[in-house]
Amino acid sequence: MKFYKFELEGKAVWGIEEGSYLAEIQGDMFSEFRKTGRIVEKDKAVIKAPTVNEIIIAVGANYMEHIKESRSIHVAPKDPVLFVKLPTAVIGHQDVIRLPKNVGRVDYEAEIAVMVKKDLADADEQEAKEAIFGVTCLNDVSARVIQEQDGQWIRAKNFKTFCPVGPCIETDADVNNLSFELRQNGVVKQKSNSKMMIFGIPQLISFISKHIPLRKGDLITTGTPEGIGPLSPGDTVEIEIEGVGILRNTVE
């Protein structure tokens, strides 16, 4: 099932995809909800970033081939490397990535993000797997020069508009075997599968829960594969996850 956040009569609401329409829901989308009877055409809807909680927990250096191309980390980490994407960076499908002035190269990074459906602390991998609600696309936009200069990542990855997310949360995806790619102006630049992760998604969720208590609705983004590259004004960037959909953003 695909859950969307979208505008309806000037307010952000949640709904489910039904053919070419989005149907508004009320209640707890993680357990019990009902349709209100209000619908909008999907092609005409203003799609919002499908977030519940404000901060997105992010994982770096989770694909070996990306580590080989990176200049900020050089060997596979012993444990997952964590940072955060802040709410002021989050934008949705069809929103514009705005490149800040005088920061040097800014890169795209295609990622699979996963949402949990319940509070979680000190969970083992089975508990973590059972807590997965669904997945979505995320672009971990990064100011590369600042990242290398600072030696840590929070400033470089949190300029305004540096976290496109969407278009929906898909609840039926197989997180252990999920293909995805990034296209820049129609050309494939990144292509991989969740099978290539150093730390698989249940393992990541378990690890994070042992250090940072997770809340129902939290999003965790799981790292980018090889093929990162610079963004330029006028670009169109698309991230597509198998069975989930396409997150599309332009660049200014």
The string of DSSP codes covering the chain is -EEEEEEETTEEEEEEEETTEEEEEEE-TTS-EEEEEEEEEGGGS-EEP--SSSPEEEEES-BHHHHHH-SS--S--SS-EEEEE-GGGEE-TTPEE-PPTT---EEE-EEEEEEESS-BSS--HHHHHHTEEEEEEEE--EEHHHHHHHSSSTTTT-STT-EEEEEEEESS--TTS-EEEEEETTEEEEEEEGGGBSS-HHHHHHHHHTTS-B-TT-EEE----S--EE--TT-EEEEEETTTEEEEEEE-
Residues 116-154 have pLDDT tens digits of: 999 999 999 999 999 999 999 999 999 999 999 998 899
Task: Calculate the CA 61 to chain-centre distance.
Answer: 15
The C-alpha atoms of residue 108 and residue 183 are separated, in whole angstroms, by 10
Nearest to 146 by CA among 124, 162, 132: 162
- pTM greater than the 0.95 cutoff: yes
For residues 102-115, one letter each, b for 16 or more C-beta atoms within 10 angstroms of the residue's C-beta and e for the rest, the string is eeeebbbbbbbbbb
Q: How far is CA 105 from CA 110, 111, 142, 144, 148, in A?
A: 16, 19, 8, 6, 11
* 63-77, 133-147, 175-189, 214-228, range with the lowest pLDDT: 63-77
Pairing of strands 163-170, 142-143: unpaired
**147 CB burial (10 A radius; 0-12, 13-18, 19+):** buried
At residue 71 the predicted structure's pLDDT band, cuts being 50, 70 and 90, is low
The C-alpha atoms of residue 109 and residue 153 are separated, in whole angstroms, by 14
Rounded mean pLDDT, 102-123: 98
Domains and CATH numbers, the chain: 1-48 (2.30.30.370), 51-251 (3.90.850.10)
Sequence-separated (6 or more) residues with CB below 8 Å from residue 63? 192, 196, 197, 198, 223, 224, 225, 226
At residue 83 the predicted structure's pLDDT band, cuts being 50, 70 and 90, is very high
pLDDT for res 87: 98
% of the chain at pLDDT higher than 70: 98
Residue 67 pLDDT > 90:
no
